[in-house]
């Protein structure tokens, strides 16, 4: 259970960074290593997906953005989804049904990412933000309470996408992270080269597949330990009685 | 090759295409409308001669500006005919040469001339004419013996300073392609020391060059301003507003001077609508005046007037100066603007 406890600390730090603006610190130059709306009244970091869309609209080559994203990707890949992202934490809280559903479907998030960028280009507007369920929770609802937003069509669209996503999360653990998150797609590109890695000692693995039953991303850690969808949450590590799986930082080459 | 491997390849290719797509746009990291400056702070003009100065124009906005013209407004000088700039592209700059002759009322010593610069800029289908005033300090020096000896800088041959180098989109394409290739290799083969090393280089170059271009500040300013229509708090209007007859009558009936401040950002999609409506109000009753404030330029003004809520500057926002009352956004704007204007100070 050590990993589970450490992960709670990480997720708490993610929430702390996500909503640190409550102290009045204001916006910083940092890009958040997860999906966290910069329009949130208490955000102090810039949303990577919102910023990417704006850069496309402005026609700015995304050097700074790329540097930050690659840095996050190289450090932990999708580890940020499992250990830091506040919206991932919400997914976690609703992870009741850790079902395994076709691996191929999980590539849909790359389509979401490409669609987000293309829509920003075609419509010169942040179209994804208007649908983003993280923005629904972190911006629409707070601004409604603050009296800046009203119950209008865009608000109802936000509530609709939020309700659909929440329903998806309840039915399929980490539904958003698995199939739809564009930030997850970005970090997934780095999952096999990142320093934070899930490792498998094949000599110890008996193939009992108990790890599969606890994986919130619906992958089979004993067979796909370097899957692009692995959020490195370590549940499988805690579950494996034979100690075949381990999670750790390493800079050495894969064998 | 297993299909999963093939999908990883595809993921790399998607990344590659995204990098190309984004890199295909080039520009610099700024966000304001036009910025004007003279290339010298003060201009020496012989009493019987002329001198020239460059008006530099920087379009740091995401939209092109059209029909940029300069006209004389005040001061003891004569402005020679000036060729207007028809189109100034987004993220580009230009210069207008200005030749000034001493006017009949010029006297030795320091003076000042005021010019009016006008231009048009459009956001989608909404266009606005912006008029700004610029002052130039003058110093009239004793007449030279032969006016023909007066050196006038040839406005065509000598630009005030070298044009800033164009953004190297090629560089972005190469960097993006290298990254895409690396990720494909990484996804195919797992971690290799040289993949890691090259990714570290990408991080260094990306962050270093990005910060050099002030892209980190650009990111901060995008995050610090909440445009109500951008994140889906309001609809993005596509039609210009049309002040109703009832509202016109109510505005005409106003008898007190009312000063409004309209807080906008260049990239805010709802702001042109708010601006157009306020301009219609101002046109109906001259007692109502409005001053536009770009929050990217003047974050202090925004916080001073309470446009900042929980550390986020919200645009568009209309502030009535004497009451301090603010309205945010454009939802039901006409009715809210009327109640803002009709409220007693």
Residues of B with CB below 8 A from A43's CB? 223
State in words which class domain B245-342 has.
alpha beta
Among A36, A45, A61, A134, pick the best mutation site for testing chain B contact (most B Cβ within 10 A): A61
- Model confidence at B38, pLDDT cuts 50, 70, 90, reads confident
Least confident of A154-163, B186-195, B313-322: B186-195
State in words which class domain B34-149 has.
mainly beta
Least confident of A165-174, A188-197, B238-247: B238-247
Same structural domain, A134 and A216 = no
CA distance B123 to A233: 46
Predicted confidence at residue A112, as pLDDT, reads 95
Chain B residues 309-328 within an 8 A CB cutoff of chain A? 309-312, 314, 328
Same structural domain, A132 and A9 = yes
Chain region(s) in chain B for CATH 3.40.30.10: 245-342
Least confident of A102-116, A142-156, B264-278: B264-278
Same structural domain, A204 and A116 = no
Predicted confidence at residue A49, as pLDDT, reads 96
What mean pLDDT do residues A186-192 have?
A: 92
Same structural domain, A22 and A45 = yes
The verdict on B199 touching A (C-beta cutoff 8 Å) is yes
Q: How many residues does chain B have?
A: 345
- Is residue A255 domain-resident? no
- Cβ B116 vs Cβ B71: under 8 Å: yes
- Model confidence at A177, pLDDT cuts 50, 70, 90, reads very high
The verdict on B101 touching A (C-beta cutoff 8 Å) is no
Q: Both tokens of residue B58?
A: 């920087």
Packing angle between helix B271-284 and helix B333-342, nearest 10 degrees?
Answer: 50
Predicted confidence at residue B31, as pLDDT, reads 38
CA distance A148 to A216: 37
How far A97 CA lies from chain B's nearest CA (Å)? 24
For residue B7, what is the nearest residue in chain A, using CA coordinates?
Answer: A107
Predicted confidence at residue B164, as pLDDT, reads 37
The verdict on B177 touching A (C-beta cutoff 8 Å) is no
Residue B151 has pLDDT above 50, yes or no: no
- Is residue A62 domain-resident? yes
What mean pLDDT do residues B33-59 have?
A: 82
More reliable by pLDDT, B298 or A187: A187
Predicted confidence at residue B23, as pLDDT, reads 54
Residues of B with CB below 8 A from A228's CB? 8, 11, 187
Residue B180 has pLDDT above 90, yes or no: no
Predicted confidence at residue B45, as pLDDT, reads 85
Same structural domain, A100 and A139 = yes
Residue B175 has pLDDT above 80, yes or no: no
Give the pairing type, strands B42-46 and B126-141. Answer: parallel
Same structural domain, A159 and A37 = yes
Q: Both tokens of residue A50?
A: 């919102």
A143-152 pLDDT per residue, tens: 899 888 889 8
Same structural domain, A94 and A53 = yes
The verdict on B125 touching A (C-beta cutoff 8 Å) is no
- Cβ B210 vs Cβ B175: under 8 Å: no
Q: What are residue B307's phi and psi, to 5 degrees?
A: -80, -15
The last residue of one of the domains, among A140, A162, A188, is A188
Same structural domain, A109 and A28 = yes
The verdict on B266 touching A (C-beta cutoff 8 Å) is no
In this complex, which of A60, A197, A226 lies closest to B27 when CB atoms are compared?
A60
Same structural domain, A183 and A206 = no
What mean pLDDT do residues B134-160 have?
A: 56
Chain region(s) in chain B for CATH 2.60.40.10: 34-149
Residues with Cβ within 8 Å of residue B288, at least 6 apart in sequence = B251, B254, B257, B258, B259, B260, B281, B282, B341
The boundaries of the domain holding residue A130 are 2-188
Do B228 and A148 lie within an 8 Å CB cutoff? Answer: yes
In this complex, which of B4, B203, B213 lies closest to A71 when CB atoms are compared?
B203
Same structural domain, A172 and A207 = no
Give the pairing type, strands A245-249 and A196-200. Answer: antiparallel
- Is residue A254 domain-resident? no
Least confident of A71-75, A79-83, B124-128, B185-189: B124-128
Residue B5 has pLDDT above 70, yes or no: no
DSSP state of A221: T
The percentage of chain A sitting over the pLDDT mark of 90, rounded to a whole number, equals 68
Residue owning tokens 């209007």? B237
Same structural domain, A100 and A221 = no
Q: How many residues does chain A have?
A: 255
- Is residue A6 domain-resident? yes
Least confident of A38-47, A222-231, B123-132: B123-132
Predicted confidence at residue B123, as pLDDT, reads 65
Predicted confidence at residue B12, as pLDDT, reads 63
The last residue of one of the domains, among A166, A188, A210, is A188
What mean pLDDT do residues A102-122 have?
A: 88
- Is residue A46 domain-resident? yes
Predicted confidence at residue A172, as pLDDT, reads 94
Predicted confidence at residue B345, as pLDDT, reads 67
Q: In chain A, how many domains are there?
A: 2
Q: Which of A102-111, A169-178, B25-34, B327-336 has maximum average pLDDT? A: A169-178
B290-341 pLDDT per residue, tens: 888 888 777 777 777 878 877 788 889 999 988 888 898 888 899 999 999 9
The percentage of chain B sitting over the pLDDT mark of 90, rounded to a whole number, equals 9
User: For position A240, which CATH number holds?
Assistant: 3.30.70.20
Predicted confidence at residue B161, as pLDDT, reads 38
Same structural domain, A14 and A79 = yes
Predicted confidence at residue A101, as pLDDT, reads 81
How far A20 CA lies from chain B's nearest CA (Å)? 11
Predicted confidence at residue A254, as pLDDT, reads 65
What mean pLDDT do residues A213-221 have?
A: 92
Residues with Cβ within 8 Å of residue B165, at least 6 apart in sequence = none
What is the secondary structure of A30-79 as a DSSP string? Answer: PBPSS---TTSTT--SB-HHHHHHHHHHHT---HHHHHHHHHHHHHHTTH
- Model confidence at A25, pLDDT cuts 50, 70, 90, reads confident
- Model confidence at B124, pLDDT cuts 50, 70, 90, reads low
The percentage of chain B sitting over the pLDDT mark of 70, rounded to a whole number, equals 79
Do A43 and B205 lie within an 8 Å CB cutoff? Answer: no
CA distance B68 to B70: 7
Residues of A with CB below 8 A from B336's CB? none
Q: How far is CA A105 from CA A217, A236, B176, in A?
A: 12, 22, 27
């Amino acid at each position: 259970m050590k990993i589970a406890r450490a992960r709670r600390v990480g997720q708490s730090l993610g929430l702390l960074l996500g909503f640190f603006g409550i102290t009045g610190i204001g916006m910083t130059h940092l890009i958040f290593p997860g999906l966290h709306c910069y329009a949130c009244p208490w955000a102090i970091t810039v949303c990577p997906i919102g910023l990417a869309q704006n850069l496309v609209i402005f026609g700015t080559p995304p050097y700074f953005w790329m540097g930050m994203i690659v840095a996050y990707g190289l450090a932990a890949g999708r580890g940020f989804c499992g250990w830091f992202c506040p919206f991932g934490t919400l997914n976690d809280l609703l992870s009741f049904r850790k079902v395994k559903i076709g691996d191929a479907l999980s590539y849909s998030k790359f389509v979401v990412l490409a669609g987000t960028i293309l829509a920003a280009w075609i419509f010169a507007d942040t179209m994804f933000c208007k649908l983003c369920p993280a923005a629904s929770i972190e911006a629409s609802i707070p601004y409604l309470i603050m009296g800046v937003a009203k119950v209008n069509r865009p608000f109802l669209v936000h509530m609709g996408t939020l309700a659909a996503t929440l329903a998806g999360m309840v039915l399929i653990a980490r539904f958003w992270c698995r199939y739809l998150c564009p930030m997850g797609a970005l970090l997934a590109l780095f999952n096999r080269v990142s320093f934070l890695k899930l490792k498998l000692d094949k000599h110890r693995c008996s193939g009992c597949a108990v790890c599969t039953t606890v994986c919130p991303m619906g992958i089979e850690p004993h067979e796909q330990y370097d899957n692009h969808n692995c959020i490195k949450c370590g549940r499988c590590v805690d579950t494996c009685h034979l100690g075949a799986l381990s999670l750790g930082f390493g800079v050495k080459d894969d064998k | 090759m297993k299909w999963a491997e093939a999908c990883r390849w595809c993921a790399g290719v998607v990344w590659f295409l995204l990098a190309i797509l984004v890199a295909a746009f080039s520009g610099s990291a700024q966000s304001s409308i036009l910025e004007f400056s003279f290339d010298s702070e003060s201009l020496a003009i012989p009493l019987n001669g002329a001198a020239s100065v460059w008006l530099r124009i920087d379009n740091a906005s995401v939209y092109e500006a059209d029909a940029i013209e300069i006209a004389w407004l005040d001061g003891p000088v004569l402005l020679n005919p000036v060729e207007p700039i028809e189109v100034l592209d987004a993220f580009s700059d230009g210069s207008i040469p200005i030749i000034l002759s001493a006017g009949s009322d010029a006297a030795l010593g320091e003076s000042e001339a005021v010019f009016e610069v006008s231009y048009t800029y459009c956001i989608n289908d909404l266009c606005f004419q912006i008029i700004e005033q610029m002052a130039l300090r003058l110093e009239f020096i004793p007449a030279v013996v032969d006016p023909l000896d007066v050196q006038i800088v040839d406005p065509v041959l000598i630009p005030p300073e070298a044009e800033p180098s164009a953004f190297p989109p090629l560089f972005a394409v190469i960097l993006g392609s290298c990254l895409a290739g690396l990720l494909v290799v990484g996804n195919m083969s797992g971690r290799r020391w040289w993949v890691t090393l090259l990714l570290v280089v990408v991080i260094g170059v990306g962050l270093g060059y990005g910060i050099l271009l002030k892209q980190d500040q650009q990111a901060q300013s995008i995050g610090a301003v909440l445009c109500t229509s951008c994140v889906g708090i309001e609809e993005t209007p596509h039609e210009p507003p049309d002040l109703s007859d009832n509202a016109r009558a109510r505005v005409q009936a106003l008898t007190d001077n009312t000063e409004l401040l309209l807080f906008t950002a260049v990239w805010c999609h709802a702001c042109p609508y708010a601006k157009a409506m306020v301009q219609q109000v101002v046109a109906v009753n001259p007692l109502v005046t409005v001053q536009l404030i770009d929050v990217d330029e003047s974050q202090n003004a925004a916080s001073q007037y309470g446009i900042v809520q929980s550390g986020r500057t919200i645009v568009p926002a209309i502030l009535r100066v004497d009451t301090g009352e603010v309205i945010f956004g454009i939802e039901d704007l006409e009715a809210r603007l009327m109640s803002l204007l009709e409220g007693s100070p």
